[in-house]
Structure 1
Amino acid sequence: MGIPDHDFQLLTTCGDESEALLVRALLEADDIPCIVQGEQHRSMLGVAGAFIELRVLVPAGELEHARELLKSTAREESPVAVATGTPDEDSEEAHCALHGQRATRTCERCGNFLCSSCDGVSTGLCEDCAERKGSGAEIQRGRKRKVVAWLILLFMFGPLLLLILANLLGALLG
């Protein structure tokens, strides 16, 4: 599918390649073009690529439609019934790790199970993710990823650059 030249804006960031593939498939099924920034770099760097953030971009005109699509999909996938009490060991139902109640949805960021008693249910985030979001940890994580990426590049290409510089200086002085 060719992507026309548009002003693309950030829809969401993804934790891994599988999440990015799911978001891409959802958007493309609804004829919304998208770009996943960082997926090629992430795959090229292998294990070190995990530090590269995956950003899903959509055309500015489709941004609100794409947001609604993601929200509606998250609502459709979450169970509607809520039960209280301790989890049944033989049950295959998901339960909130914090309260032991049957899960009604999952955290939009990390996928942890949430119940109706969780404080973060209204925001769609578990307590940990809500705390991180409010503390600016996303910005810190982005900065750390950039520093690690630069260190990897320096490690990979630093010796080559030093060799080139030494040859240039040798040619100028010799």
Structure 2
Amino acid sequence: MTSRVEKASIRNERLALRDAMTPQARIEGSLAMVEHAGDRLEFDPGTVISGFWPIRSEADIRPLMAHFRTRGARLCLPVVLDRETIIFRELVVGAPVVKTGFGTTGPGEEAAVLDPDILLVPLSAFDRAGHRIGYGAGHYDRAIDRLKARGHRPRLIGIAFDCQEVASVPAEPHDVALDAILTESGFRLFQPVS
């Protein structure tokens, strides 16, 4: 089985498990994430943190993002420009959010474009080594590559529910590992590979 086929199979399986969670379990799990990482994630005031508005059965990290704002973070959201590109627009209190394509919501064109220092990354599956499987379009992989090309290396924190963990993700050389994972049961840092 090729890595791509294996990843697709894992993606479908883990997203089905996430979809099967009750709405109440997703809400409780999302709120637990604030307890686990709201004060534990280290950053200085002014740090730019990219979150996301939930789609489908994703964790709702809006309470977590609001908490980070009270600690001095500048927030932004990914905006899908086309099938190849996402950018990160600043999320300012009181500014409207609009439909931004591919089922996502984010700030409009008037918002400043920022380079995040920390990326809260939605995903379909992850393993204990910090490898992840996204949704298959490669948006985050390309965005991370563009940031790195400009000399910017954001910390990558996966956002998932426990049911999305697998024993092993078939990682490929171009895959970028997570620095940490946040689920309803805790916040885990991954050891860098040397």
Q: TM-score, normalised by structure 1?
A: 0.25
Q: TM-score, normalised by structure 2?
A: 0.23
**Structure (1/2) with the larger strand percentage:** 2
Structure with more contact order per residue of length (Cα contacts < 8 Å, sep ≥ 6): 2
**Structure (1/2) with the larger helix percentage:** 1
